[in-house]
Amino acid sequence: MSVFYLAAFLAIFFAIMTILTKNPVHSVLYLVITFFTLTIHYILLNAQFLAVVNFIVYMGAIMVLFLFILMLLNLNKESEPMKSTLVKVIGGIAGMCLIATLLGAFRVLEPSHAMIVANSDVGLVKNLGKVLFKEFLLPFEISSILLLTAMVGAVLLAKKDVKKA
C-alpha cells in the first residue's frame, strides 16, 4: 500500500506543478512525470496492457509532440496576449466549480477496504487478445481497414504531384 500512496502523492504533486509552472516546457515535463505515476497505478491494478499503452502512447508520442510544438512556437512574454478580466473571472468560477466537485466527491467516498479480486488475470494482454479476437473480431478488422484507408489517404494527400514533360 505504501507504493500506492507514494505514487498517488507524486501524481497529485506533479499535476499541480503542471498547472502552476509558468514555463510551458517545464509544464509538459511535469505532465510526463504525472503520466509515469499513472502508469505505476495501472501496474498496481494489474492492468499491464494499459500501463504499456500509457507509457508508449502518452509518455512517448504525445508528450514528445507537445514538446516539439512548444519549442517550435518559441513562446515569449511579448507574444502572449493580455487576458481580459472576463476570462479571469470565468477561470475563477471554473476553478471554484472544480473545488466544489472535489469536496463533494471526497465527502461521498468511504474508507477503502481490502479489495478481493475474483480473477487476477483480468488486465493481462493474453486475456485481452482472446476477447478481442473471439468476441470483437469483426469490429477489430473493420477498424484496421479504416486505419489502413486513412494511412493510404494521408500518403496520397502528402504526395507531391510530379508532372512529366
- Judgement on whether residues 30 and 58 belong to the same structural domain of the protein: yes
- Judgement on whether residues 27 and 95 belong to the same structural domain of the protein: yes
- Judgement on whether residues 146 and 109 belong to the same structural domain of the protein: no
CA distance 35 to 14: 9
Q: How confident is the model at residue 13 (pLDDT cuts 50, 70, 90)?
A: very high
**CA separation (Å) from 29 to 24, 88, 102, 134?**
9, 26, 25, 40
- Judgement on whether residues 56 and 43 belong to the same structural domain of the protein: yes
Q: Please tell me the predicted confidence (pLDDT) of residue 31.
A: 87
Q: Quick check: is 101 in a domain?
A: yes
Residue 114 has pLDDT above 80, yes or no: no
Residue 8 has pLDDT above 80, yes or no: yes
Q: Please tell me the predicted confidence (pLDDT) of residue 78.
A: 61
Q: Quick check: is 155 in a domain?
A: yes
- Judgement on whether residues 148 and 115 belong to the same structural domain of the protein: no
Q: How confident is the model at residue 15 (pLDDT cuts 50, 70, 90)?
A: very high
Lowest mean pLDDT among 13-22, 29-38, 79-88, 99-108: 79-88
- Judgement on whether residues 6 and 66 belong to the same structural domain of the protein: yes
- Judgement on whether residues 95 and 145 belong to the same structural domain of the protein: no
- Judgement on whether residues 140 and 90 belong to the same structural domain of the protein: no
Residue in 39, 56, 58 with CA at minimum distance from that of residue 48: 39
Q: Please tell me the predicted confidence (pLDDT) of residue 81.
A: 62
Alpha helices in 45-84 (DSSP H): 48-53, 63-73
Q: How many independent structural domains does the chain possess?
A: 2
Q: How confident is the model at residue 11 (pLDDT cuts 50, 70, 90)?
A: very high
- Judgement on whether residues 94 and 148 belong to the same structural domain of the protein: no
* pTM of the predicted model as reported, rounded to 2 decimal places: 0.54
Q: Quick check: is 29 in a domain?
A: yes
Q: Please give the share of the chain, as a percent, with pLDDT higher than 90.
A: 9
Q: What spatial distance separates the first Cα and last Cα of the chain, rounded to whole Å?
A: 72
- Judgement on whether residues 112 and 132 belong to the same structural domain of the protein: no
Q: Please tell me the predicted confidence (pLDDT) of residue 25.
A: 78
Residue 87 has pLDDT above 90, yes or no: no
Q: What is the CATH number of the domain that holds 54?
A: 1.20.120.1200
- Judgement on whether residues 106 and 156 belong to the same structural domain of the protein: no
User: Which range marks the domain in which residue 146 is found?
Assistant: 124-160
CA distance 46 to 9: 20
Encode pLDDT of 27-75 as tens digits. Answer: 888 888 898 899 999 888 888 888 888 888 887 787 777 777 777 776 6
Q: Tell me which of 11 and 55 has the higher pLDDT.
A: 11
- Judgement on whether residues 137 and 116 belong to the same structural domain of the protein: no
Q: Quick check: is 165 in a domain?
A: no
Residue in 35, 23, 22 with CA at minimum distance from that of residue 62: 35
> Are the beta carbons of 20 and 95 closer than 8 angstroms?
no
Q: Please tell me the predicted confidence (pLDDT) of residue 9.
A: 92
